[in-house]
Structure 1
Amino acid sequence: MREQNHAKMDRSFKSAVVEEGLEVGRRDEVTLEDSQLKPEVVWEVEVEDEVVAKLGGAYVGYLIDDKEASTIQNQFWMNGFQSFKICTLGYRKILLWSDRVGEVKEVMESVGWWCSLFEKIVPWSPSLVSNQRVTWICCYGVPLHTWGLDLFRAMAFKFGRFIEVDVQTKQM
């Protein structure tokens, strides 16, 4: 049977989480210093020529406001562009492509309702990468009396930008 953990008045939430995390792992091999010194991981991958060729006619839209890719996809579909494919590249960047050669270029070079979505639209290139990603953070062991938007905003701002809290979390 697992023993109950109780809050101690002389310990912070952070120290409880860090110490608990170290205790769960191999105690004889993990130290606090080891957990803070994480090496940078760099992957080198082969580029598949067929993927680059498929993306040759793609465009990248820089969104004015945060919007879900699925919402934009539905807007294009409902306006007759069923062959359009939309996916998120990273913070406020949307990839637009189609299996029909030249279709995205033709549409993006014309004026339409989509102009109000994007700050700018540029042809995709392999050098165009995103340096930001949206990440959901799961928090376990948060004392009930500290639970709230202020805590979640403070945690998010340590690593980036706070976007929102899901409905289930808001209702807790």
Structure 2
Amino acid sequence: MRESVERETVGGRKRDFITKLDKVTTSFFVTNFPDDATSGDLWKLFLKFGKVGEVYIPKKLDKRGRRFGFVKFKEVKEVEELSDSLRDVWMGMYKLRVNLSRFGRGEPKEAHSQKAPSQRAAAATMVESQNGRSFRNALLDEVQVLKVPVNEELCKELRGSMVGTLAREKDVRRIQTTIFMEGFKSISVTYMGGNMALVRSSNEGDVERMIRSKKECMEYYFSELKPWNPGLLAVQREVWIQVYGIPLHIWGENLFKIVGAKLGVFLDFDEETARMARF
């Protein structure tokens, strides 16, 4: 972590150390992590993906008032493979946005002039085609945002609701039935996408009372329950896709996994497809 690096080095030694680190590491730009996350938290999280050389979270915020940081990996042999593995990194309910950084923090500005324009263009194209956004757009957060008025009435109704992280692969309908059988008929459980579900009630206080009285039951179904707030969003969805025109000589599970990996994480295929009952 940068904090520890700065404590252990002084003056020019610190600059020399960071410059050397920049030359032997691959840097990634990271956003959309929890406000209370520390450099140590990110360090532990990214250790799963390789050898971490440095984690740096600036004190300043981006133009939208959000935190961002940089993670440097050492001894990276396959940059594209590492980039692919970092597309689906989660910290609690937050899906981190991780983009390859084309410029090292210690490089002088002169190195980014219009020398070798073809290399710069190729790098930008690669990131754009892989992640849908260039590193520059990710850094500046240049995205088109729809401005929609908040439904204040719905916000009032959602107060007192809870958002649960599903433990394992739990069926939301089964959770709803269990709660109903326990006598809490005003409470509904709605799937939000990914591994999240909304627990709400038309009667104020019912959700809180149910969670207190059925603690063991809730811990079985949910690994975590948090009071609803506008920032708790499900960014994952399980969807079926239909693919036409597949040559029969390449039909099989490997093909479907490859196709699924292009769009997200492959989960399963239906019985008719497995039996080749439908082409």
TM-score by length of 1: 0.69
Match 2:174 to one of 71, 74, 87: 71
Question: Gaps spanning 5+ residues in structure 2: where?
Answer: 1-128, 134-142
The residue matched to 2:260 in structure 1 has which SS? helix
1:71–1:141 CA distance, 2 compared to 1 (3 A): farther
**Structure 2 partner of 1:135:** 239
Which protein has the bigger strand share? 2
Question: Gaps spanning 5+ residues in structure 1: where?
Answer: 1-35
Q: Retained in 1: the 8 A contact 2:184–2:210? A: no
Please state how far the C-alpha of 1:43 moved relative to its aligned partner: 2.5
Given residue 49 of structure 1, which amino acid in structure 2 is its aligned partner?
E
- Answer with 64-73 or 125-134: which moved more: 64-73
Q: Retained in 2: the 8 A contact 1:55–1:97? A: yes
The residue matched to 2:263 in structure 1 has which SS? coil
Which protein has the bigger helix share? 2
Q: Retained in 1: the 8 A contact 2:161–2:228? A: yes
**Structure 2 partner of 1:146:** 250
TM-superposition CA deviations, 1:31-80 (whole Å, max 9, x none): xxxxx8x8966422111111111110110110121233223222222332
TM-superposition CA deviations, 1:76-122 (whole Å, max 9, x none): 22332222111122211110001111111111234232211111111
**Cα distance in 1 between the residues matched to 2:186 and 2:144:** 37
**Structure 2 partner of 1:51:** 154
Higher relative contact order (CA 8 A, sep 6+): 1
Q: Retained in 2: the 8 A contact 1:108–1:121? A: no
- Aligned ranges 1:1-172 → 2 under 5 Å: 42-110=145-213, 111-172=215-276
Given residue 167 of structure 1, which amino acid in structure 2 is its aligned partner?
E
- Answer with 87-96 or 144-153: which moved more: 144-153
Q: Retained in 2: the 8 A contact 1:69–1:86? A: yes
The residue matched to 1:158 in structure 2 has which SS? helix
**Cα distance in 2 between the residues matched to 1:151 and 1:118:** 34
**Cα distance in 2 between the residues matched to 1:159 and 1:138:** 12
TM-score by length of 2: 0.45
**Cα distance in 2 between the residues matched to 1:155 and 1:114:** 37
Runs of 4+ deviating beyond 3 Å? 38-42
**Cα distance in 1 between the residues matched to 2:253 and 2:223:** 30
**Cα distance in 2 between the residues matched to 1:77 and 1:100:** 14
1:103–1:166 CA distance, 2 compared to 1 (3 A): same
1:76–1:47 CA distance, 2 compared to 1 (3 A): same
**Cα distance in 2 between the residues matched to 1:159 and 1:131:** 14
